[in-house]
Structure 1
Amino acid sequence: MASSTRFAAAVAAAVLSLVGSAPAASAEPPPGIYWTPARLAAALPLPTEATSPTADGPRPGEFIPPSHSFDGIPQAGAFFWTDADGTGRTCSGSVVHSPGRGLALSAGHCLKGYAGRAPKRHLAFVPQYHEGLTPFGVFPVEPNGVYVAQEYYDRGEHTGAAYDFGFAVTGPNQDGQRLEDAAGAVHLLTGTGYVHAPVRMIGYPGGAQKPLECLSWTTRWASDDPADPGTFARIACDAFTGGTSGGPMLVPWPGGWAVIGVIGGYHTGGNTPQVSYSAPFGPAVRALYEAAVSGAPPAGPAS
């Protein structure tokens, strides 16, 4: 298991210009200023819709690899935002190599409310967040910088489970650094199928001070639930609870890691803490990545 990179812990403060003539009291503070250590620690997992009671979880006698908390890696982190009621929310994510060096990956059900004209509400990505620390700063998501597949908007969390992935284009941190320049990145792999070993899965459980990691393998899972149709990558890893959605499934890659899935998809990632899923990483993921790196207009809910 790769060891965590040493870092100097610092509370991030983003330096963003506030435009327009609105008084300061009504202006939205930059994410790096808004996300104090107390607000980061208080953020809650994203609530998801109830799923049908079909079989989902460990099989009889199945070995469930253990997970353990650790300080994280620079290329994985957490998204933070506030919902319509002002409650802090969180999901997991990872930094993906891109020409613009500012791209983060998560689950579609984490990001779907923040595309197009929807308010950002302090949406930001924090690489290697742990224990209230933001070692590389806070990276605000750019306006119109959230990319979720149109099929996911149109079909919803369950019928569209096979499209449960999304990208976010971030702006620089408080030091003017781009995300990938500060934290590094993983390589995006698509079209490699469902079976991979070894797989290192990382996620941020809601309310925990540190992320979890687990070493396991993925297999092919054909949905047995007509409400969540499709074929998914399945992985057994203990204790991956709410908040870990969007966390990367990583495989070794020359010089580091490559991502072959994110926690989500079937039953928005699984009904039990012992088994997680990912939407397939195939042509739809690659097309969405290309749209994000090209700056194409993002998709959004039907008006």
Structure 2
Amino acid sequence: MKKTSRGPLTVLIAVLLAVAAGAGGATAASGGPGGAGGAGGARAVSDGAGTASAALTDSGGARAADRAAAADTVRAYWTPERMRRAEYQGGGLSRGAMEHVRRQVADPTGEPGSVPPAAASSSGPPAAAVEIPTRVGRIFYVDPFDGKDKACDGNPLNSGSRRLVVTSGSCVFSRAAHTWMNNWVFIPGYFRGSAPYGKFVGDWGYTFNAWIDDGNMNYDFGLATTHPNESGQRLVDRVGGDGFAWNQPKEVFVSANGYSVNGQIPSGCGGYTRSASFGGIELPCAPSDGGLSRGGRWLMNIDPDTSLGYVNGVTSIHQPSGWLQSPYVNTEFRDFFYRVADS
């Protein structure tokens, strides 16, 4: 895998998250604008050199028919039974990674700013009963480290492409296998095997080099672009997308939403964040169902009429003490978002 190495501030903009499934899961194939690679490879785009934007492919092909067929294969892979049995993506940081994190401080690096949320524009009721906030969703994928079906949380972000999901870096990149997750799909409103708004298959995945190389919790943050659902609807068109905020105060009221680590039931917490020892932010959260999975949104400034708000963090770690922890979103994350926003 070729990647840039300009320190922890460099963004590695990476690989197809979902392609045609083979025995035991999908195989990643790289390609797309500006470059191509062999099956199982990944293409890195250097800082400032633009973004990778398309090409869910079959064996490196870029035809629309190939991409559509590959997305259909991934949707078919994720049956209700597979989704119900997928394991929570847990695991903490290594001692070396924690020592590296402790030497860093994440603070505002400029003026506060934000991208506004957007309401859904596609009509039609959900295909199944919805038990959680519409945009909160479950991510499913095959972990290349052990070949197992696993799950994380995610949330749509408003952007130019209207197809962006925000989650943690650990939900797009397997550090154990040092490669990208396979058979990746996002299902907003997921509940006990249902996909009420359709299945949005992953296209490209994005995270920071500092997460890939060091497991640095200050950069455990990921984005993914998605293909339209079975009805041809883009993600934000179908369910809406929250805004994105950076350089905000470290003490702010947020609502953290996602799924229980002990099952598939919706869960959430609300409260004021504070600075965390590793440099990010943390939130007291001790629901009786075991806490929240990785990747779930932290939402601030929620409009009570629309339920739309601004993502200000994502769940990276759920500490046994009952605190959720997230990277602090500063100017680096803003720049990262804008590199991907129109992809």
Same fold (TM over 0.5): yes
Q: Find out whether 1:287 has 2:339 as its counterpart.
A: no
SS in 2 for 1:172: coil
**The 10-residue stretch of structure 1 (283-292 or 88-97) with the greater mean CA deviation from structure 2:** 283-292
- The residue type equivalent to 2:147 in the other structure is G
* Contact in 1 for aligned 2:187/2:199 (Cα 8 Å): yes
SS in 1 for 2:190: coil
Deviation of residue 101 (structure 1)?
0.4
| Displacement after TM superposition at 1:183 (Å) | 1.0
Alpha-carbon distance in 2 for matches of 1:287, 1:71: 34
Tell me which residue corresponds to 2:247.
Answer: 191
Partner residue of 1:147?
Answer: 206
Q: Tell me if structure 1 keeps the 8 A contact 2:201–2:227.
A: yes
Structure 1 residues 42 and 218, CA gap change in structure 2 (3 angstroms)? same
The 2-side partners of 1:131 and 1:274 are apart by 25
Matched with 1:166 is 222
CA distance in 2, matches of 1:112, 1:148: 8
The two structures have a TM-score, normalised by structure 2, of 0.64
Counterpart of 1:276 in 2: which secondary structure? strand
1:95 aligns with 2:156: yes
1:46 aligns with 2:106: no
**How far is the alpha carbon of 1:193 from its aligned partner?**
2.3
| Alignment of structure 1 residues 15-34 onto 2, 5 Å | 19=58, 30-34=73-77
- Quote the Cα distance in structure 2 between the aligned partners of 1:168 and 1:42: 23
Q: Which residue of 66, 69, 72 corresponds with 2:132?
A: 72
Contact 1:46 1:243 (8 Å CA) reproduced: no
1:151 deviation in Å? 2.1
Normalised TM-score (structure 1): 0.72
- 1:178 paired residue number: 234
1:50 to partner: Cα distance: 5.6
Residues 94 and 127 in structure 1, CA contact (< 8 A), matched pair in contact too: yes
- How far residue 206 of structure 1 moved from its aligned partner, in angstroms, is 3.8
Measured at CA, do residues 28 and 262 of structure 1 come closer, stay the same or move farther in structure 2, by a change above 3 Å? closer
Unaligned runs of 5+ in 2: 1-55, 61-69, 99-129
Partner Cα separation in structure 2 for residue 177 and residue 286 of structure 1: 26
CA–CA distance in structure 1, aligned partners of residues 244 and 73 of structure 2: 29
The 1:161–1:118 alpha-carbon spacing in structure 2 relative to 1, beyond 3 Å, is closer
Which is bigger in relative contact order (C-alpha 8 A, separation at least 6)? 1
- Deviation readout 1:196-235 (Å, 9 max, x if unpaired): 12x21112124523210222221122x2xxxxxx411110
Q: Does 1:252 align with 2:295?
A: no
Q: Percent identity?
A: 25
Task: Measure how far apart 1:273 and its partner are.
Answer: 6.1
Paired amino acid for 2:318: G
Give 1:188 deviation, angstroms.
0.5
Letter of the aligned partner of 1:196 in structure 2?
V
Query: Are residues 238 and 51 of structure 1, via their aligned partners in 2, closer, same or farther at CA, if it must alter by over 3 Å?
Result: farther
- Describe the shift of the 1:118–1:30 C-alpha distance in structure 2 as closer, same or farther (beyond 3 A): farther
Deviation, 1:76, is 1.1
Q: Supply the distance in 1 between the matched residues of 2:299 and 2:198 (Cα, whole angstroms).
A: 23
Are 1:203 and 1:248, in contact at CA under 8 Å, matched by a contact in 2? yes
Question: 1:251 Cα shift?
Answer: 1.6
| Cα distance in 2 for residues equivalent to 1:187 and 1:203 | 17
- Are residues 1:271 and 2:304 paired? no
Query: What secondary structure sits across from 1:182 in the alignment?
Result: helix
* Cα offset, 1:29, TM superposition: 6.0
2:141 partner SS: strand
Partner of 1:299: none
Number of aligned positions between the proteins? 242
Tell me the CA shift for residue 28 of structure 1.
8.8
| Counterpart in the other structure of 1:123 | 184
Distance 1:273 1:38 in 2: 33
SS at match of 1:180: helix
1:96 to 1:20, Cα distance in 2 relative to 1, 3 A: closer
Q: State the shift of 1:243 in Å.
A: 6.1
Amino acid corresponding to residue 263 of structure 2 in structure 1: A
Q: Distance in 1 between matches of 2:281 and 2:327?
A: 7
Q: Deviations over 1:88-135 (max 9, x none)?
A: 100111111011000000011221239xx9565210111010121111
1:210 aligns with 265
- Equivalent AA in structure 2 for residue 258 of structure 1: Y
Displacement of 1:31: 2.1
